A and B are shown apart, each in its own frame.
Chain A
Amino acid sequence: MFQFRLDGSSGVPPYLQLVHQVRQSLLLGYLQEGDRLPTVKDVAAGLVINPNTVVKAYRQLEHEGLASGRPGQGTFITAASSPVPSQAQQDLRASLEEWLRAAEQAGMSDDAVTALIAAARHDMRKERV
């Protein structure tokens, strides 16, 4: 059974952390179509988090078409994992390296770069949700 975890110091809202873990596990192949996610109660008790947070995460996954709830049976993964194609990954990496060099020339530290990426990503997700 899939195991969620929670990082209390990441600053990412708990329900988004759960959503990200499913997305990431799909990309990495740890989760596959047809897998059942743990019950809301098991996640709530296991992580000691509010069950409504888990409900919200599962709703978000359903909304994104990654999972669907079957009454009385649980929530199942419906999306086939679709890893990012390697060519696309290489292109992204090249443009990222170019950007990182520009950041370094501008005098940004590693921490500042990480903070900027986290802030930008956070804002993007806010807009998407």
Chain B
Amino acid sequence: MAEYDAGGSVPALRTEHLGRRYGKVWGLRDCTLEVPAGAVAALVGPNGAGKTTLLEMIIGLLEPTEGQVSVFGETSRADTAATLARVGYVAQDHPLYRDFSVADMFHLGRAMNPSWDQQLATARVDALDIPLQRKVRRLSGGQQAQVSLTMALAKRAPLLVLDEPVSSLDPIARLEFMRDVMAAAADTGADSSLTFLISSHVVSELERFCDWLIVLANGHVQLAGPADDLLAAHRLLTVPRATPDAELPGTVIHRDDSDRHSTALVRTDPVQPAVRGHAGWQADPVSFEQLVMCYLQRPPTAATTGNPAPAAARPGPTGKEVTR
């Protein structure tokens, strides 16, 4: 069964103060996070947030400038066979050799991966009605994505990293691809739970796919943890406009001021919002998409490693001033 063990066992992925600098610019800085074995984790962030930098350090394509990555307790090092064998990777543009047939691609996979599962690979493309002898360039975009996923699955790596796997696909191909990912995530024995890390900038569909959420913006982790716990830890407060941040319970993550009232996303754990005593206050649960969008809009100075900054460190209300 695919349920993960939240504590105790070795995490599938752990990064500690991970950073990568390109010249004078940090692509990613002070990134500390964990993904438990068996999770389907979503890595969300706008273009340029550092997603690909993080993923490339995880799969061993890029050497960290500082900090480290470990996969199932073993430190990843760039360009080493041991690191490459532990992680399966589906790149954004599904790079395959265009003049190779599907069978040629599998031959290559077998030559390069000691734990290659040829039976799994051929059974998968057979089930998808993709002919083994067909050249890659004659496959549809959806079929190319499926062959890429098959290559990653047949590697039998315990961690699978998918970088924007469906962004180039039409809605039907996207659904079929994610159906297979979800089936693969479910289809694991007690000894071989698969862990997925899927990057995306499409937020709306993620709630149904992932149980672990990592929000990246401005080269920093803004929010990370089990999706359900994060949703439960936040509330959308509607309060009179003049209410200062300091009077709101918890930590104010995002605030919108209109002429009469303000809407604020607050992180309320461990305190519960005491709304009942305040006339005109209302607390609502936050949707997955709202939560992600609010964290993506945080000013760069508020960036932390997974926990919100203390309220005192935040600038004042950031909402638009209304003048009449």
Contact = CB atoms under 8 A, between A and B. Distances in A.
Query: Interface residues of A: mostly helix, strand, loop or mixed?
Result: helix
B4 interface: yes
B97 interface: no
Given A45-B179, A56-B3, A50 B185 contact: yes
Interface residues on A, range: 20 to 34
Nearest to B284: A119
A55 B208 contact: no
A45 B183 contact: yes
Contacts of B287: 11
Interface string B223-239: 00000100110000000
B40 interface: yes
A49 interface: yes
Interface in B1-36: 1-4
Given A13-B228, A55-B1, A119-B284, A44 B186 contact: yes
Given A52-B4, A52-B38, A14 B182 contact: no
Interface in A37-67: 40-41, 44-45, 47-56, 59
Given A41-B186, A41-B187, A13 B179 contact: no
Contacts of B182: 44-45, 48-51
A86 to B, nearest CB: 33
Interface in B129-176: 175
B208 A8 contact: yes
Interface centre among A13, A44, A122 (most CB of B within 10 A): A44
A33 B183 CA distance: 28
Contacts of A40: 1-2, 186
A13 B231 contact: yes
Interface in B178-207: 178-180, 182-183, 185-187, 207
A6 interface: yes
A7 B3 CA distance: 23
B281 to A, nearest CB: 13
Contact of B210 (A13, A50, A122, A126): A50
B93 interface: no
B211 interface: yes
A52 B211 contact: yes
A56 B3 CA distance: 8
Contacts of B285: 11, 119, 122-123, 126
Contacts of B209: 48-50
Given A40-B186, A126-B232, A126-B285, A47 B3 contact: no
Interface centre among A40, A41, A59 (most CB of B within 10 A): A41
Nearest to B182: A44
Interface string A1-29: 00000101001011100000000000000
Contacts of A55: 1-3
A55 B38 CA distance: 12
Contacts of B207: 8, 14
Given A52-B39, A55-B1, A44 B211 contact: no
Given A8-B208, A40-B2, A40-B186, A48 B39 contact: no
B208 A6 contact: yes
A124 B99 CA distance: 59
Contacts of A59: 3
A8 B36 CA distance: 26
A51 B40 CA distance: 9
Interface string A90-120: 0000000000000000000000000000010
B193 to A, nearest CB: 10
A47 B186 CA distance: 13
A49 B208 contact: yes
Contacts of B1: 40, 55
Given A49-B209, A50-B185, 15 more contacts: A6-B208, A11-B285, A13-B231, A14-B207, A15-B228, A41-B183, A45-B182, A45-B186, A48-B208, A49-B182, A51-B186, A52-B40, A53-B208, A119-B285, A126-B232
16 contacts: A6-B208, A14-B207, A40-B2, A41-B186, A44-B182, A45-B180, A45-B183, A48-B209, A50-B185, A50-B209, A52-B3, A52-B4, A52-B185, A55-B2, A59-B3, A122-B285
